[in-house]
A and B are shown apart, each in its own frame.
Chain A
Amino acid sequence: MSAVASPIRVSGLEKSYKDLHLLRGIDFDVAGGSIFALLGSNGAGKTTVVKILSTLLSADAGTASVSGFDVAAQPAQVRGSISLTGQFAAVDEVLSGRENLVLIARLRHLSDPGGIADDLLRRFSLTDAGGRKVSTYSGGMRRRLDIAMSLIGHPPVIFLDEPTTGLDPEARIEVWQAVKELAVQGTTILLTTQYLEEAEHLADRIAVLHQGHIIANGTLAELKQLLPPAQVEYVEKQPTLEDVFLAIIGVDTATDTPSGPTRKDSR
């Protein structure tokens, strides 16, 4: 799969719901092993793009391919090379965390589902909670389990639809950490988010989806060049409430969110 230069290719994608012309010709490519953030406000159509790429919806026009397979013509091959996590892909609340992982491993027809489950529980610090019903999990644990479920079978492409929506800052940092580790291992990740900070923090490339079009697509540095050159002003930067919150609950934020006065300049 790594032979494909752009594991995700989208060209001229259009989708309408009744009167609403939601996607009006979307084009973008995602390079292998990179994190690509699709940024947009609520209702911009981010989820629709992900649903089309994961074969849950069909497009009205345009083409899309994942790992070199056309999503409309070869949906089975696409499903074999992706996994989907986040907003609308749920975990089973009645089952335990471990049973959820075993279930997915069985459905991916892997051998030793139990071993795979135990290994992932360990990697995501869920070993102690593994035997408990998911309905007793916190939001962060649930999302970690969700991401662990998408790693089963090592799919080369992962879609994360708003992976941190509704999470507290601590859990969000855990998720970010997990996502970064995946990309380091060569997984291609398409992430949707409405949090600018999340895109800034995680993504190699960022595309902005607005009113049915991709209105900007580039690295953070490239996007910054779209603005007039920054004027140098000296302002005393107060720590944000988030910095304070993370500091007093004792989370080590040094590697994830640089705190203090230099925060906005550090990237």
Chain B
Amino acid sequence: MTTHLLGDTAVLTGRSLRHITRSVDTIVTTAVMPVAIMLLFVFVLGGAIDTGSSSYVNYLLPGVLLITVASGVAYTSYRLFLDLQSGIFERFQSMPVARSSMLWAHVLTSLVANLVSLVIVVLAAVAMGFRSGAGVAAWLAVAGMLVLFTLALTWIAVIAGLSAKSVEGAAAFSYPLIFLPFISSAFAPTESMPGPVRWFAEHQPVTSIVETIRNLFAQQPVGSDIWTALAWCVGGLVAAYAVAIMAYRRRTG
């Protein structure tokens, strides 16, 4: 069985990528909301938020990128749920196909779709005045951080897709994830927040990831934030993966 894991995963990833290329609107919708949020904050609210010296769009972009991923993975649990619902999973499972390749196909598809959305959002940010002097290494580090973040959130999406009872339920898990960056340093410095909110904002995963990406873009030292961010991403990824595999075993008997 495992001898075919890679081949089967490639074939099934090709299948779900076709689902995306035939409904390009899912990628566009994923990018539209973050771009709208960016427009709102840069041109309406941003002027009232004091972020120090750098331009507000530079300050804002890392958080918006995380929101992009959080809303993008909702489509992953939606597609996974539909596959389970329609019975195509049962057809694959009654065939000599490596079982975990069905989940990996959705995960890899999620990664590709989210990276495309992220590129769209970055281009929109550049159009709004985002500038970075970051070199290739820093950009690669940002990309790596976002890939890790996407994988962690995608495996959470897999859990939601596997355990959902309805289409709405399959996507609903992403709402808190989309909201999380607002209670962090993504849109405004945490110093102005009241005690308990500030404590939460400074200790939740988004802040360390946002600070890391922001410093990479600004060519500043990333300090200890990058280790906190990596710990959150890798820890979340491992935990979500374990729970997802358990849910998958339970679901498929």
Given contacts A94-B19, A109-B7, contact A104 B95 (CB under 8 A): yes
CB distance from A197 to the nearest CB of B (A): 25
Are A83 and B88 within 8 A (Cβ)? Answer: no
Q: Does B29 contact A (CB under 8 A)?
A: no
Given contacts A58-B253, A99-B18, contact A83 B95 (CB under 8 A): yes
CB distance from A75 to the nearest CB of B (A): 9
Are A106 and B11 within 8 A (Cβ)? Answer: yes
A68-98 vs B, CB cutoff 8 Å, 1 = contact: the mask equals 0000000010011011100111111111000
Are A103 and B94 within 8 A (Cβ)? Answer: no
A89 to B86, CA, bound (A): 8
A55 to B1, CA, bound (A): 15
Q: Does B8 contact A (CB under 8 A)?
A: yes
**In the complex, which residues of chain A have a beta carbon less than 8 angstroms from the beta carbon of B92?**
107
Residue tally, chain B, CB below 8 Å to A: 24
- Determine which of A55, A80, A87, A103 lies in contact with B11 in the assembled complex, contact meaning CB atoms within 8 Å: A103
Given contacts A94-B18, A106-B11, A107-B11, contact A54 B94 (CB under 8 A): yes
Given contacts A104-B95, A107-B11, A109-B4, contact A89 B18 (CB under 8 A): no
A57 to B253, CA, bound (A): 6
Q: Does B52 contact A (CB under 8 A)?
A: no
**In the complex, which residues of chain B have a beta carbon less than 8 angstroms from the beta carbon of A251?**
none
Q: Does B194 contact A (CB under 8 A)?
A: no
Which residue of the partner chain B has the closest CB to A113? B11
Residue tally, chain A, CB below 8 Å to B: 29
B96-120 vs A, CB cutoff 8 Å, 1 = contact: the mask equals 1100000000000000000000000
**In the complex, which residues of chain B have a beta carbon less than 8 angstroms from the beta carbon of A93?**
86
- Determine which of B12, B23, B86, B97 lies in contact with A90 in the assembled complex, contact meaning CB atoms within 8 Å: B86
Interface members, chain A 101-144 (any B CB < 8 Å)? 103-104, 106-109
Q: Does A56 contact B (CB under 8 A)?
A: yes
Are B15 and A89 within 8 A (Cβ)? Answer: no
Are B95 and A107 within 8 A (Cβ)? Answer: yes
Are B87 and A79 within 8 A (Cβ)? Answer: no
CB distance from A114 to the nearest CB of B (A): 14
Q: Does B219 contact A (CB under 8 A)?
A: no
Are A108 and B95 within 8 A (Cβ)? Answer: yes
Are B87 and A90 within 8 A (Cβ)? Answer: yes
Q: Does B93 contact A (CB under 8 A)?
A: yes
Are B19 and A91 within 8 A (Cβ)? Answer: no
Q: Does B50 contact A (CB under 8 A)?
A: no
A90 to B87, CA, bound (A): 5
Main secondary structure of the interface of B (DSSP, over half): helix
Q: Does B22 contact A (CB under 8 A)?
A: yes
Are B252 and A56 within 8 A (Cβ)? Answer: yes
Are A79 and B18 within 8 A (Cβ)? Answer: no
Which residue of the partner chain A has the closest CB to B1? A76
Q: Does B90 contact A (CB under 8 A)?
A: yes
CB distance from A99 to the nearest CB of B (A): 7
- Determine which of B8, B23, B88, B93 lies in contact with A92 in the assembled complex, contact meaning CB atoms within 8 Å: B88
CB distance from A16 to the nearest CB of B (A): 14
**In the complex, which residues of chain A have a beta carbon less than 8 angstroms from the beta carbon of B19?**
94
B121-157 vs A, CB cutoff 8 Å, 1 = contact: the mask equals 0000000000000000000000000000000000000
Which residue of the partner chain B has the closest CB to A94? B19
Which residue of the partner chain B has the closest CB to A106? B11
Are A91 and B88 within 8 A (Cβ)? Answer: yes
Q: Does B91 contact A (CB under 8 A)?
A: yes
Given contacts A56-B252, A95-B15, A103-B15, contact A82 B8 (CB under 8 A): no
A106 to B94, CA, bound (A): 15
Are A89 and B91 within 8 A (Cβ)? Answer: yes
CB distance from B95 to the nearest CB of A (A): 6
Which residue of the partner chain B has the closest CB to A90? B87
Given A84-B90, A88-B90, 20 more pairs with CB closer than 8 A? A58-B253, A79-B95, A79-B97, A80-B96, A83-B94, A83-B95, A84-B91, A87-B87, A89-B87, A89-B91, A89-B94, A90-B91, A93-B86, A94-B19, A94-B23, A95-B15, A99-B18, A107-B12, A108-B95, A108-B96
Can you give 16 A-B contacts (C-beta < 8 A)?
A: A54-B94, A56-B90, A56-B253, A79-B97, A83-B95, A88-B87, A89-B87, A89-B88, A89-B90, A90-B86, A90-B91, A92-B15, A94-B23, A108-B96, A109-B4, A109-B7
Q: Which residues of B contact A (CB under 8 A)?
A: 1, 4, 7-8, 11-12, 15, 18-19, 22-23, 86-88, 90-97, 252-253
Q: Which residues of A contact B (CB under 8 A)?
A: 51, 54-58, 76, 79-80, 82-84, 87-95, 99, 103-104, 106-109, 149
List the 8 shortest-distance A-B pairs measured between CB atoms, nearest first: A90-B87, A84-B94, A89-B91, A54-B94, A90-B86, A88-B87, A90-B88, A106-B11
